[in-house]
């Protein structure tokens, strides 16, 4: 009998969306001149993003010069209902009550407060006072996968349900105009978006089992991706060399993960790859020798939702699960500061 951690429910929640061209024409384009404006326009047009979400849209409210304190206060206001919606949908999909959970894990790098989302949502949703809680912060775009691994380990060891929530509000970290002309900030403002996604895990039952997790961190390139706390929000550092680092490591990470489970790349029928940007997806596709259909879900999520940091890979997994013929062997891949690559293998339960 399968007693491993199974993904029994997955729920998402999205703030209002905006069209990428509207964001460019009605806000961002006003902050560039000359060659910088032409460069920024090309970056926005080639981002692979068609629409994306913002809890605090610059079309309605410019937070560029807000203090970090102001942004953190707004984070609580916006993140709680968004997280509550995603968690409620995941629980409903799994057919379990909030009071059944033994562990509640939260990933977020875009806001901090105490009591945090883990405490406030546990209270508001009726989780047990004895529920264990885990908060994963500042891991960035790959946080969902170590979070999923920790929750799965709990379920397997304790034979109790667990829930993972990833909630990010990148829109709160719009940088001041004086900083915004930096190349790395242009890329960041062209890609990032807001979302929440939650996964409910149960011991056994039908669904995708969290089979294995793998990671590699190249500390020699630690400065290639950063997320710094400043007096005016959190500032993204994003080197153009990131795809080259992923190109160096991603094939071995995937091969090692699959080989120790008796599989090869050809055995995988579902790829949930974090769409950090078009170039990242291009590199992963080329290094793994995948056809266009393999990364179609990742590109569709990037186009429709943007890069939402930690929830994004779960949005891709949700898209795969909703297909008419859902995959039975899934590899999830996500990347972030460190530079760090994470991979997770999901296998259809035999039950």
For the annotated catalytic residues, the residue numbers are 141
Collapse the DSSP code of 296 into the 3-class scheme (helix H, G, I; strand E, B; otherwise coil) and give the result: helix
**How many angstroms separate the CA atoms of 331 and 259, rounded?**
13
Q: Which residues of 195-222 are buried (b: 16+ CB within 10 A; e: fewer)?
A: bbbbbbbbbbbebbbbbbbbbbeeeebe
Which residues sit opposite 119 in a β-bridge? none
Q: Which residues in 231-293 belong to E strands, given as ranges?
A: 233-238, 270-273
| Length of the chain counted residue by residue | 351
| Rounded-to-5 percentages of helix, strand, coil across the chain | 45, 25, 30
Collapse the DSSP code of 7 into the 3-class scheme (helix H, G, I; strand E, B; otherwise coil) and give the result: strand
| Both tokens assigned to 58 | 């610059």
| Both tokens assigned to 123 | 């209270």
φ, ψ of residue 113 in degrees (nearest 5): -165, 155
Collapse the DSSP code of 182 into the 3-class scheme (helix H, G, I; strand E, B; otherwise coil) and give the result: coil
**How many angstroms separate the CA atoms of 7 and 36, rounded?**
46
Collapse the DSSP code of 188 into the 3-class scheme (helix H, G, I; strand E, B; otherwise coil) and give the result: helix
Enumerate residues 6+ apart whose C-beta is below 8 A from 227: 109, 138, 140, 234, 235, 236, 237, 337
Which residues sit opposite 17 in a β-bridge? 53
Q: Contact, 294 vs 285, CB < 8 A?
A: yes
Tokens 């034979």 — which residue? 159
Going 228 to 28 to 13 to 211, the CA torsion angle's sign is negative
**How many angstroms separate the CA atoms of 300 and 305, rounded?**
8
């Amino acid at each position: 009998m399968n007693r491993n951690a199974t993904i029994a429910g997955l729920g998402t929640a999205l703030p209002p969306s905006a069209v990428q061209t509207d964001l460019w024409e009605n806000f961002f384009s006003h902050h560039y001149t000359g060659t910088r404006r032409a460069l920024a326009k090309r970056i926005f047009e080639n981002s692979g993003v068609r629409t994306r979400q913002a809890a605090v849209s610059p079309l309605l409210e410019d937070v560029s010069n807000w203090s970090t304190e102001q942004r953190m206060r707004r984070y609580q206001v916006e993140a709680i209902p968004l997280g509550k919606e995603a968690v409620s949908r995941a629980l409903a999909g799994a057919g379990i009550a909030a009071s059944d959970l033994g562990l509640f894990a939260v990933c977020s790098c875009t806001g901090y407060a105490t009591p945090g989302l883990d405490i406030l949502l546990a209270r508001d949703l009726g989780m047990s006072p004895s529920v264990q809680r885990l908060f994963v912060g500042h891991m960035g775009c790959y946080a969902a996968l170590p979070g999923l691994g920790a929750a799965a380990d709990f379920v397997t060891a304790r034979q109790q349900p667990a829930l993972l929530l990833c909630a990010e509000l990148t829109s709160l970290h719009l940088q001041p105009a004086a900083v915004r002309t930096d190349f790395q900030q242009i890329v960041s403002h062209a890609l990032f978006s807001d979302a929440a996604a939650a996964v409910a895990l149960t011991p056994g039952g039908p669904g995708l089992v969290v089979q294995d997790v793998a990671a590699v961190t190249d500390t020699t390139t630690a400065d290639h991706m950063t997320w710094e706390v400043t007096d005016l929000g959190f500032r993204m550092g994003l080197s153009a060399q990131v795809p080259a680092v992923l190109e160096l490591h991603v094939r071995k990470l995937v091969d090692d993960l699959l080989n120790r489970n008796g599989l090869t790349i050809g055995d995988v029928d579902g790829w949930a790859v974090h769409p950090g940007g078009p170039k990242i997806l291009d590199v992963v596709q080329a290094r793994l020798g995948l056809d266009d259909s393999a990364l179609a879900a990742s590109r569709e999520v990037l186009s429709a939702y943007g890069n939402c940091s930690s929830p994004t890979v779960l949005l891709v997994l949700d898209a795969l699960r909703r297909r008419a013929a859902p995959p039975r062997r899934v590899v999830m891949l996500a990347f972030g500061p460190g530079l760090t690559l994470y991979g997770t293998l999901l296998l259809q339960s035999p039950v």
